[in-house]
Amino acid sequence: MDKLIINGGPRLNGEIRISGAKNAALPILAATLLADGPVTISNVPHLHDITTTMELLGRMGLELTIDEKMNVQVDSRTIREFFAPYELVRTMRASILVLGPLLTRFGRADVALPGGCAIGSRPVNLHLQGLAAMGAELTVDGGYIRATAKRLKGADLMMDLVTVTGTENLMMAATMAKGVTVIRNAAREPEVVDLANCLIGMGAIIDGAGTDTIRISGVESLSGTHYEILPDRIETGTYLVAATMTGGHVKLKSTKPELLEAVLSKLHDAGAEITTGDTWVELEMNGKRPRAVSIHTSPYPGFPTDMQAQFTALNCVAEGTGVITESVFENRFMHVLELQRMGAQIQIEGNTAITTGVAKLKSAPLMATDLRASASLVLAGLVAEGSTEVHRIYHIDRGYETIEEKLSNLGAQIRRVPG
């Protein structure tokens, strides 16, 4: 298995381009199952999770063509099976996103029940409850969700919890249901809005995406379209934290700063000078050591849980004490154990990490456990004394396009060693 070797020290400096958002590309790829013509998607990030999703769609019989710029065309007219096998679902939970589209367009789906993962049990009960309320017959048998529906019907769905992929799955299912569906306590993430905009481009009738109440009026069919994926706000935030930790100065292009207001506000509190344009964000630390910040993760527009691990790493080398509370997932502090091995002073109390910053972390061999935790270990390696090895970096490759290339372009001393 590959590993990354990082020599700590250099301040990051320079400009890089941000890729398309993984968490928008995944549901939008699933949405191609709804269209009765080809869907062309541009700005697709080149990530392991994306290739997994394309492999899943290909196995179902869809025709996929990809050009050198990672523009992807998907044509579902050649579909021949409605099955998402365990060996793919276990590597990527977001495969559950094919359930809603398959059910509403073809009336049937056999999808492996996603297991938990390092950050939590991550049930999909709310996805299934919503589909059942829309008239689907669902049984779980041998680790698979067996689902059928003559024709889904519109329903008034009050979500017990804010769930991003739950909202996305049910919104897709509702696009071709009979009648109107209302999703209350809906997720408001920008990636939900991006999916809604793509569906509207296919002919769906959707109001309220981006608010906590989404109304969908079912239509008979959806057509092909072209759609450009929005920039990845979490990748943007991750590189901004890297620059803040190293005291550097970076400019990130092809991004959308308005999507990460909560993150920019915390970076400002940490002492960063930030300027923004519609499609770029610039951060300058002038060599200063960051100040510790306190954070409470919550659904959008609150502080994103996907940025928690990165800010925990920042607090490890910041001045003062920071308190980070993780309220979305039950086990998202796996990176703390690894950071402590580098000399970080972190105390865990329930779902809170209390950090007292140290002047320097010490390099150590580290093991990545989940996507964002592994990013936080790379960030720690950028500022640690000596050479840090991060193992099991397939976690990173799921969500960060060519991370070592982008960091090297910013002056980091980082290389990938094939394992």
The catalytic site residues sit at 117
303 touching ligand EPZ, by CB under 6 A: no
Among 10, 107, 120, 201, binds ligand EPZ (CB under 6 A): 120
Question: How many C-beta neighbours within 10 Å does residue 247 have?
Answer: 21
Using the minimum distance from each CB to ligand EPZ, give the nearer residue, 375 or 382. 375
| Per-residue binder mask for ligand EPZ (CB under 6 A), 80-109, x = binder | --------------x---------------
What's the closest the beta carbon of residue 285 comes to ligand EPZ, in angstroms? 25
26 touching ligand EPZ, by CB under 6 A: yes
Residue 177: both structure tokens together: 């249901």
What's the closest the beta carbon of residue 371 comes to ligand EPZ, in angstroms? 5
What's the closest the beta carbon of residue 214 comes to ligand EPZ, in angstroms? 15
236 touching ligand EPZ, by CB under 6 A: no
Using the minimum distance from each CB to ligand EPZ, give the nearer residue, 5 or 117. 117
Among 23, 76, 246, 308, binds ligand EPZ (CB under 6 A): 23
163 touching ligand EPZ, by CB under 6 A: yes
Contact 256, 279 (CB under 8 A): yes
- The one-character DSSP state at 134 is T
Pairing of β 352-356 and β 295-296: unpaired
Using the minimum distance from each CB to ligand EPZ, give the nearer residue, 32 or 363. 32
Can you tell me whether residue 213 is helix, strand or coil? strand
What's the closest the beta carbon of residue 162 comes to ligand EPZ, in angstroms? 6
Rounded Cα distance, 78 and 81, in Å: 10
Rounded Cα distance, 338 and 374, in Å: 10
Can you tell me whether residue 286 is helix, strand or coil? coil
What's the closest the beta carbon of residue 192 comes to ligand EPZ, in angstroms? 9
Residues 6+ apart with CB under 8 A from 360: 317, 343, 383, 384, 385
Using the minimum distance from each CB to ligand EPZ, give the nearer residue, 125 or 279. 125
232 touching ligand EPZ, by CB under 6 A: no
Rounded Cα distance, 13 and 285, in Å: 10
Return the H-helix or E-strand segment holding 284.
Answer: strand 280-284
Q: Is 407 exposed, middle or buried (0-12, 13-18, 19+ CB in 10 A)?
A: buried
Among 256, 372, 395, 406, binds ligand EPZ (CB under 6 A): 372
3-state secondary structure 24-38: HHHHHHHHHHHECCC
- The interaxial angle of helices 164-174 and 22-31, nearest 10 deg, is 20
Contact 178, 152 (CB under 8 A): yes
What's the closest the beta carbon of residue 179 comes to ligand EPZ, in angstroms? 23
Among 399, 401, 407, 412, binds ligand EPZ (CB under 6 A): 399
Q: Is 150 exposed, middle or buried (0-12, 13-18, 19+ CB in 10 A)?
A: exposed
- The candidate with the shortest Cα–Cα distance to 27, out of 113, 128, 100, 115, is 100
What's the closest the beta carbon of residue 23 comes to ligand EPZ, in angstroms? 4
- The candidate with the shortest Cα–Cα distance to 62, out of 41, 93, 42, is 41
Among 57, 371, 378, 396, binds ligand EPZ (CB under 6 A): 371
53 touching ligand EPZ, by CB under 6 A: no
52 touching ligand EPZ, by CB under 6 A: no
9 touching ligand EPZ, by CB under 6 A: no
| Per-residue binder mask for ligand EPZ (CB under 6 A), 329-358, x = binder | x-----------------------------
Where on the chain is the footprint of ligand EPZ (CB under 6 A)? 22-23, 26, 94, 120, 122-127, 161, 163-166, 305-306, 328-329, 371-372, 399
